[in-house]
Amino acid sequence: MKRVLVTLGAVAALATGAVAGGGAHWGYSGSIGPEHWGDLSPEYLMCKIGKNQSPIDINSADAVKACLAPVSVYYVSDAKYVVNNGHTIKVVMGGRGYVVVDGKRFYLKQFHFHAPSEHTVNGKHYPFEAHFVHLDKNGNITVLGVFFKVGKENPELEKVWRVMPEEPGQKRHLTARIDPEKLLPENRDYYRYSGSLTTPPCSEGVRWIVFKEPVEMSREQLEKFRKVMGFDNNRPVQPLNARKVMK
């Protein structure tokens, strides 16, 4: 029952795009950094004792070859606002768009960003990673992970960057319609594994789909995000333990 309650709390935060302050204060360094999350609150215990935590290092050679079904994407342009919650920049969606995974609809609630990437591939970080967080009707979570490399300016990302709130707690409405699918790579081959949320309460049972192909963003876009955040907002990779990564 305790684990279910933790998951439902996470679901509420994901669905509302809640800003920092809803639980024990946490961060990415010092006494409130990732190595201490599990001690900050009983609600965050999974950050400390969980055996299926995220992110992970994806070893492409060790990943198990499997007949992974294509991820069917049915997104709509229903973004509501952009918020700086003190941990990331988050785009909160209306929840009408969805993906189909394992024959179930998972509705897009929000997407947010990390620099450098949280997942690594063969021990190496990408400069940036986006997480698209989805919930099904029962509160189960699927997250799509997208890597970014430095290259040309990303027009869809720029629509968010134009109104990026610079102070924690600030939110701003978008001035342009966002098509989330344009932030996904053209090649939809992916890695899949069972993991957790990468922030407190670190709830497990999350379906992770991490696309192999990165998309591009400009150096200026990357540096703007890093300047606004003021710190690296990536949780260190976690032990794989008994899990297998499929490809």
Give the type of residue at 22: G
- C-alpha to C-alpha distance for 229 and 163, rounded to whole angstroms: 14
For residue 114, say whether it is annotated as part of any ligand binding site.
yes
Catalytic position from the list 25, 36, 87, 125: 87
**Closest Cα partner for 204 from 3, 1, 2?**
3
87 is catalytic: yes
- C-alpha to C-alpha distance for 214 and 221, rounded to whole angstroms: 15
Question: Hey, which bits of 37-139 come out as E strands?
Answer: 57-58, 72-74, 79-84, 89-93, 98-101, 104-114, 120-121, 124-125, 128-135
Q: What angle do CA 217, 221, 224 make, to 5 degrees?
A: 155
Any idea which residues carry the catalytic annotation?
87
Binding-site sequence positions: 112, 114, 118, 131
Binding-site sequence positions for Zn(2+): 112, 114, 118, 131
